[in-house]
Structure 1
């Protein structure tokens, strides 16, 4: 990272914003991540992104084999500036990428021999997969998952809205990981990279500012 550039850009931020960045980064995690597969109701993906931000999840992976969508900025309520969004055209490429990064693939489904949420081991690095609102996850995910997860329910309805499900799962696993001494925090390098990215996203016409900075530095 160009430390001089970083410090120059930070001069455009208030002390309050710089302090907030460090406070939030101290709570961010990549120990858990979330994947949505062909969620065709736009507001659901946007709401999941908002939940990721609220519970400190840095990465949201969106698979759009059938439904190409943009994140609804109004529903995400600014979360798109702070959560790293990764898009995929196929579920296979998404699973392959996450496995290479050391994630267990956990399919959220009320069916199969699923583990109850409170019984899930939070020690491993875990990617939670959420499927379509009507049919759930694809066979590709179900057939290749490392495990299955369901939220305890006690009524007639057997499923929850995807954004509600994601919020319940994240609140539970994040809280338990913190209480069980899991090494969930970002590395210092990751924090620095994100702080630079967030700083850029907080400054209007940042590309022009960087261009002028580099021109002056080289003159």
Structure 2
């Protein structure tokens, strides 16, 4: 047990500089607990700081400790729920207010959103200090309220007839690009600042 804890501590120390601080993934009204678990696995593997879940139907427990004990989430996250910060909100409005109060910029993901700046994933700049990336419900996508309060809509460039991906797949693709950019930005900032002591 002691050796296991020291191995976990060692691993935590190794990965801490790769974590993307002030980056939050938001799932809005997900309907499949298996997808939730897989998204938790994605955010943990990619170094995303936090996951917020908007869940008005009580699909997931209210507190993190109970989420860790829910077998579907534990199994589909391959235990990543144990090492990931997850917070639940009862409504989109409640989540948006929390993010705005803490000065986070929200962007939504969708193939097409009218009336918003649409950015192809690999052409965007995601190095803003505090960023929340919203993913909509599997069957209907992102809500009008989330779109209205977001800065932009990002989409994955697709070359097939079908223009949709599974929620877990799209979070993996989108968050990979965003975390890659943020890590490069964080590393370049820390390299520049190492020689400048005031």
1:4-15 to structure 2, matched below 5 A, reads 14-15=5-6
1:135 matched residue in structure 2: 140
- 1:59 pairs with 2:35: no
Give the TM-score of the pair, scaled to structure 1. 0.73
- Of residues 105, 113, 120 in structure 2, which corresponds to 1:116? 120
Q: Which residue of 1 aligns with 2:177?
A: 172
Mapping of residues 27-176 of structure 1, within 5 Å:
27-70=18-61, 72-112=73-113, 113-124=117-128, 125-176=130-181
**Structure 1 residues 53-80: Cα deviation after superposition (integer angstroms, max 9, x where no partner):** 0101121000101352355110001111
In structure 2, what is the Cα distance between the partners aligned to 1:168 and 1:23? 24
How far apart, in 2, do the equivalents of 1:48 and 1:26 lie?
A: 21
Question: Any stretches of 5+ residues in structure 1 without a counterpart?
Answer: 1-9, 186-219
Distance 1:116-1:54 versus aligned 2 partners, 3 A rule: same
Q: Shift of residue 181 of structure 1? A: 4.3
Aligned-pair Cα RMSD in Å: 2.2
Query: How far is 1:182 from its partner?
Result: 6.6
The 1-side partners of 2:186 and 2:5 are apart by 34
Change (3 A) 1:116 1:57: same
C-alpha deviations, 1:162-191, integer Å up to 9, x for none? 111110011111112222347899xxxxxx
Give structure 2 stretches of 5+ with no counterpart.
Answer: 62-66, 68-72, 191-198
Q: CA deviation at 1:29?
A: 2.0
Task: Give the distance between the partners of 1:178 and 1:170, measured in 2 at CA.
Answer: 12
Give, in whole Å, the separation in 1 of the partners of 2:161 and 2:189.
Answer: 36
Distance 1:122 1:91, change over 3 A: same
Query: What corresponds to 1:21 in structure 2?
Result: 12
TM-score (ref. length: structure 2): 0.81
Give the structure with higher Rg (CA). 1
Higher share in strand: 2
